Amino acid sequence: MAALRSAGGAGLGFRRELIPALKAGVPSAVSFFELAPENWAGIGGRWGKDLRYFSERHRFVCHGLSLSLGGLAPLDTALLRRIRSFMAEHGITLYTEHLSWCSDDSHLYDLLPIPMTADAVRWTADRIRQAQDILDMRIGIENPSYYVSPPGAELTESEFITAIATEADCLLHLDVNNVYVNSRNFSFDPLAFIDALPLERTAYVHVAGHYVEPDGLIVDTHGADVIDPVWGLLAAAYERIGGEVPTCLERDFNFPDLGCLAVEVETIARLQAAAPVITRRAA
Amino acid sequence: MTNDYQEFQRHFGRYLRDPRRCQRPPGIPARAAAVYSELLFNNVCGFLDACFPVCRELLGESRWRRLNRSFYRDWPLHTPWFREIPREFARYLAGAGIKPPLPAWLAELAHYEWVELAVEAMDAPIPDHDPEGNLLQKPVVVNPACRVLTYAWPVHRIGVVYRPRKPLLTYLAVHRAADDTVRFSELNAVTARLLALLSAAPITGLAALQQIADELEHPSPHQLIAFGSELLLQLRRQGILLGSQLTACPIGITDSSG
């Protein structure tokens, strides 16, 4: 088992499509992998063997997709227990989920924005606390991308995230690409937004590429290279939180050569190294 | 306690499952609603397309997509595991009493296509066994990554050039071999029954074959057993059987003289 397991460094999303290239050699800039437990827990056969091979040699982070923190049905405690045992099997110590919902009474299998009301703060924070109790650790919540601002909002997004993180006493997973996508689609200042987040709680960072529709709408696809303004936001985030926070490059389809992804992971590492040392008070 | 914001979520969920017939919730612009309904449906279709290439090809694109849509709209999806979406689709075809006329064999074909995915990824560690053990005299160990299937239709032969009109009772084994590839075998009724008996409880090959001879009221059980012993060896060569259970060493009889 890889040495446990100081955080930090630059990581890459662990995808089946990348495994053959990774078997030939993991790029040196990659200091950890991220996976979705919903895609990997309980998998046997060759995929299970592949995961075991890499988790014995590399650090992994869990980034969930199906927990539906803002969902309507009771929190899926069976899923959480399975994630807990999966994390133990592979020595994984960080789990993050999206601050979104993906199910009402039944699953929709994609991430939707939670209406930003005081009731939703209480509801969602309560579910995060339940999740933290079952996993016996604090979890990170990711600021999501969205294409609609649900009606009836009583708080701004940064207020909503801050209120939930405070009430649940959880960690922040900062996705700078999502900040960028939303800032373009909804015309706000991404840096001012980042400054209004509870950055002292940041435990994990995402960076990714996206797609611009012909009418200018930006869709958070994770299927393209990271663009310069997003790198700029990552650098700006590091100026505020320091470069110690583990940061993952998300790439979910339209895969280039592993070498191209390695260059992007190296960019993360370079920006981390260039960041000032920030002494963060414990969240 | 009723929460207005949750009423929005319910309404949006209904809309996303059925955007053609359901009004979008107030305050949701058409463009954003279209982005979401497309993203979500394409996501689910991606899982279905990957698992069911034969069903898709035989139905044709528009019928296939209509069926994907009615599945997403009508079938309650409670699994958080993406790999179980195709399982749910196969259950939907088998159990939902779907209105538009579909080929009679479609539900079974979908099940067969799903089994390949399921066997490839199932978490079924290989139990201890003696690969050289006597399969007639010792309890037999069946490959746990194996499904023995009975279909009313010859699903393994269905394709663009063969769409059966009449049912044909069909027995198939789908198993994961030692190299982790998925293999398909057509079985006869006796072999399927033998595998069912061996999978149900740890029994010797001989006991299973004797039971089959009884069930068939076979005129000469010895013939069946002779045939069956060859069959057991063949199933082991294929990797459907792994071998025999290891004989536990009785306490006190182990040789410890060094």
The string of pLDDT tens digits covering residues B24-76 is 999 999 999 999 999 999 999 999 999 999 999 999 999 999 999 999 999 99
Residue B163, SS3?
A: coil
Domains in chain B and their CATH numbers?
1-102 (1.10.150.690), 124-247 (3.90.930.50)
Lowest-pLDDT range of A127-131, A221-225, B107-111: A221-225
Of A109, A148, A219, the CB nearest to B28: A148
pLDDT band, residue A77 (cuts 50/70/90): very high
* Contact between chains at B35 and A217 (C-beta distance less than 8 A): yes
Q: Does A122 touch chain B (CB under 8 A)?
A: no
Within A143-257, where are the H helices?
157-168, 176-185, 190-195, 228-241
CB under 8 Å to B224, separation ≥6 — which residues? B190, B209, B212, B213, B216, B218
pLDDT band, residue A3 (cuts 50/70/90): very low
Lowest-pLDDT range of A1-15, A161-175, A212-226: A1-15
pLDDT band, residue B254 (cuts 50/70/90): very low
Cα gap A98→A146, rounded to integer Å:
11
CB under 8 Å to A135, separation ≥6 — which residues? A80, A83, A84, A87, A95
Q: How close, in Å, is residue B42 to chain A by CA atoms?
A: 10
Q: What is the average pLDDT across B214-238?
A: 95
Q: How far apart are the first and last CA of chain A?
A: 29
Residue B172, SS3?
A: strand
H/E/C letters for each residue in B18-40?
CCCCCCCCCCCCHHHHHHHHHHH
Helix axes B106-121, A45-55, angle to 10 degrees: 30
Question: Both tokens of residue A252?
Answer: 């979910």
Nearest alpha carbon to residue B206 among B138, B130, B254, B149: B138
DSSP code, position B178? T
* Contact between chains at B25 and A44 (C-beta distance less than 8 A): no
Cα gap B113→A90, rounded to integer Å:
31
ipTM over 0.90: yes
Cα gap A165→A254, rounded to integer Å:
34
Q: What is the average pLDDT across B235-242?
A: 97
**Is residue B226 pLDDT above 70, yes or no?**
yes
| Residue-level pLDDT at B180 | 96
Name the average pLDDT for chain A: 95
- Using CA coordinates, name the residue in chain A closest to B34: A147
The model's pTM: 0.93
Q: What is the average pLDDT across B5-23?
A: 96
Q: What is the average pLDDT across A270-277?
A: 94
| Residue-level pLDDT at B247 | 75
pLDDT in tens, B73-100: 999 999 999 999 999 999 999 987 887 7
pLDDT band, residue A48 (cuts 50/70/90): very high
Residues from chain B that touch A107, judged by Cβ atoms under 8 A, are 77-80
Alpha-carbon distances, residue A171 vs A63, A69, A164, A206 (angstroms): 13, 14, 10, 14
- The residue whose two tokens read 């958070």 is A220
**Is residue A43 pLDDT above 70, yes or no?**
yes
**Is residue A6 pLDDT above 70, yes or no?**
no
Residue B73, SS3?
A: helix
Of B17, B44, B122, the CB nearest to A44: B122
pLDDT in tens, B182-219: 999 999 999 999 999 999 999 999 999 999 999 999 99
What's the full length of chain A, in residues? Answer: 283
Within chain A, where are the H helices?
19-24, 37-40, 45-55, 77-89, 118-135, 157-168, 176-185, 190-195, 228-241, 258-274
**Is residue B160 pLDDT above 80, yes or no?**
yes
* Contact between chains at A114 and B5 (C-beta distance less than 8 A): yes
Residues from chain B that touch A106, judged by Cβ atoms under 8 A, are 13, 76-78
Q: Fold for domain A10-274?
A: TIM Barrel (3.20.20)
Q: How far is CA B41 from the centre of its chain?
A: 24
Residues from chain A that touch B29, judged by Cβ atoms under 8 A, are 148
Q: Does A46 touch chain B (CB under 8 A)?
A: yes
**Is residue A2 pLDDT above 80, yes or no?**
no
Of B5, B12, B122, the CB nearest to A112: B12
| Residue-level pLDDT at B250 | 52
Spatial contact of B202 and B245, defined as CB atoms under 8 Å apart:
yes
Nearest alpha carbon to residue B125 among A86, A40, A37, A44: A44
The count of other CB atoms within 10 Å of the CB of residue B220 is 9
pLDDT in tens, B113-123: 999 999 999 99
**Is residue B249 pLDDT above 90, yes or no?**
no
**Is residue A218 pLDDT above 70, yes or no?**
yes
**Is residue A1 pLDDT above 70, yes or no?**
no
